Amino acid sequence: MSPVIKKKGEKFTLPGKYLLFILTIVCVSLLVVTYATDAFNRPLNYIVNYIVVPYENGIAAIGSAIRDRKDELVNIRDLMSENAELRNKINELEEENTRLMQDKYELSTLRNLMELDEAYESYEKTGARIIYKDSGNWFSTFIINKGSNDGIKLDMNVIAGNGLVGRISMVGPDFSRVTSIISDVSHVSGMVLSTSDNLIVSGSLELIDEGVVSFSQLIDEEDKVGEGDKVVTSNISDKFMPGLLIGYISKISNDTNNLTKSGYIIPAVDFKHLEEVLIITDIKRQITDEDIEEAESNEIQ
């Protein structure tokens, strides 16, 4: 057998079977050394303790922070959803409360009108709603939702609350205007209920800011009229039915002529808050000169 001659420049190569054998011997040796001694434990423990463990701890801390943040976001989302539901519930309750308050107010208004209707049961009446009023705080003149189509006529009396509001001063087909007793142009023939003494009640938008209207031409020779006395419409009023409550005397004083008295009356009606009114459909019949002449003529005959 001739020897293998290595040519110049040719690289040395180890056959694969020998390389595999050598690697096997090395691996087995390392296994034996690892299990038999702690030669590799200390370096590996060092590497694990100073490199791997901090890295794992960092990963764990980041994972924990992410998990906590996720839980916070979930809680925030739940809270926002719950808050939205509570807001919707509050809005529903507020709307329901508003409806209940309005129903209660309307019920109270209707009850007051019913009581007023019973107080003046001798008069025929119909109800109406206020649909417009002049600017300002007071219902000095306003429009109601009934007119000639509903049988409303000029000078019909209007009442609300506890007494007299005013009279119909203009009539349209489906609306009417009411001029109240607090208007500057209003003058009502009144009577002190306890003494039957007559007086004139005059409206004043300046005085109503103080909650009163004025009266004058009261003849009280025996000084029987005092504060708190009721004032109603008199029998001699030309436009108002008798016995309608106007208000209560709050102040009374002697005039300079020492013959008459004047003062102030607190109206029985709250002229700042009106929504519903009653219209007395009876109209006070006016006695004319012709009626008197006819009566005199009949008497002579």
Summarised one tens digit per residue, pLDDT across range 159-174 is: 998 899 999 999 999 9
Give long-range contacts, CB 8 A cutoff, 24+ apart: 97-102: none
**Is there a single domain that holds both residue 148 and residue 72?**
no
Domain termination site, one of 119, 142, 172: 119
* pLDDT of 3 over the 60 cut: no
CA distances from residue 183 to 26, 138, 156, 203, 281 in whole angstroms, order as listed: 121, 9, 17, 5, 22
Looking at the structure of the chain, the number of domains it has is: 2
pLDDT tens-digit map of 127-165:
999 999 988 889 999 999 999 999 999 999 999 988 999
Same-domain check for residues 76 and 160: no
How does pLDDT run across 49-92, given as a tens digit for each residue?
666 566 666 677 777 778 777 778 888 888 888 888 888 888 77
Q: Is residue 298 part of a domain?
A: no
Same domain as 259, residue 185? yes
Which is higher by pLDDT, 26 or 210? 210
Q: What is the structure's pLDDT at 291?
A: 59
How far is it, in rounded angstroms, from Cα 155 to Cα 167? 5
Show which of 89, 119, 149 is a domain's final residue: 119
Q: What is the pLDDT at residue 112?
A: 67
The confidence band for 1, taking pLDDT boundaries of 50, 70 and 90, is: very low
| pLDDT tens track for 221-271 | 889 999 999 999 999 998 999 999 999 999 999 999 989 999 999 999 999
Same domain for 185 and 87: no
- Average pLDDT score, the chain: 82
Decide: 152 and 279 in contact? Cβ < 8 Å.
Answer: yes
- Is residue 177 located within the same domain as residue 273? yes
Question: Residue 241 belongs to a domain with what CATH number?
Answer: 2.40.10.340
**Does residue 192 have a pLDDT over 70?**
yes
Question: Residue 34: pLDDT above 80?
Answer: no
- The rounded distance, in Å, linking the Cα atoms of 85 and 79 is 10
pTM over 0.85: no
Torsion sign over Cα 241, 243, 246, 252: positive
Q: Which two tokens stand for residue 49?
A: 């303790």
> What pLDDT does residue 174 have?
95
> Domain end: 73, 96, 119, which one?
119
CA angle 172-169-275, nearest 5°?
Answer: 80
Model confidence at 104: pLDDT above 60: no
Task: Assess whether 152 and 277 both reside in one domain.
Answer: yes
Domain co-membership, 157 together with 38: no
Q: Based on the domain organization, do 139 and 114 belong to the same domain? A: no
Is residue 94 domain-shared with residue 163, that is, in the same domain? Answer: no
CA distances (Å), origin 187, targets 132, 139, 166, 239: 23, 16, 10, 10
In a domain, 275, yes or no: yes
- 144 and 79 inside one domain: no
Residues 132 and 280 both lie in one domain: yes
Rounded to 5°, angle at Cα 232 from 111 and 237: 120
Which residues, including other chains, have CB under 8 Å from residue 259's CB and lie 6 or more apart?
Answer: 219
273 and 146 fall within a common domain: yes
Quote the domain boundaries for residue 161: 125-284
